[in-house]
Amino acid sequence: MPGPRSSPLKAKRKREPGIKCPMKRTQKTRDATELWKAEILARLKEPRCWICAHLVNEVDRDFFWFVNEQYYEIGMIDKMRRAYGFCPTHTRHFLQTGAHSVNVTVFSYLT
């Protein structure tokens, strides 16, 4: 039991060995935070919405990998069949990004 002058709030808590304090920020965490802030500040200088620009880049990246590595995989074919293909917006995007042979192959899976 703590003495009359000691406060239970000041008592040190015992931690298990190997457990780090979750609130302790390391240099790596600070560097990552600063990098993120610098990237966001740079994006805010762009003339259009930086979130929309990021989403467009993500869609372009996803279609790139789909066209180059995934459209012929059995798991992807099954997922596309269950989803009935792409929505109209992404179908137009796919038709603009995919090669003619890839477009024909993908749509043959769906019919």
pTM: 0.51
Inform me whether the pLDDT recorded for 23 exceeds 60.
no
Q: In whole angstroms, give the CA distance from residue 105 to residue 27.
A: 50
Q: Which residue has better confidence, 29 or 94?
A: 94
Average pLDDT, integer, range 71-76: 87
Q: Which stretch of 4-8, 41-45, 103-107 has the lowest confidence by average pLDDT?
A: 4-8
pLDDT of residue 20: 58
Q: State how far the Cα of 60 lies from the Cα of 43, in Å rounded to an integer.
A: 18
Say which amino acid occupies 69: E
Helix, strand, coil fractions of the chain, as percent rounded to 5: 65, 0, 35
Q: How confident is the model at residue 95 (pLDDT cuts 50, 70, 90)?
A: confident
Q: What pLDDT does 9 receive?
A: 54
Residue ranges per structural domain of the chain: 48-110
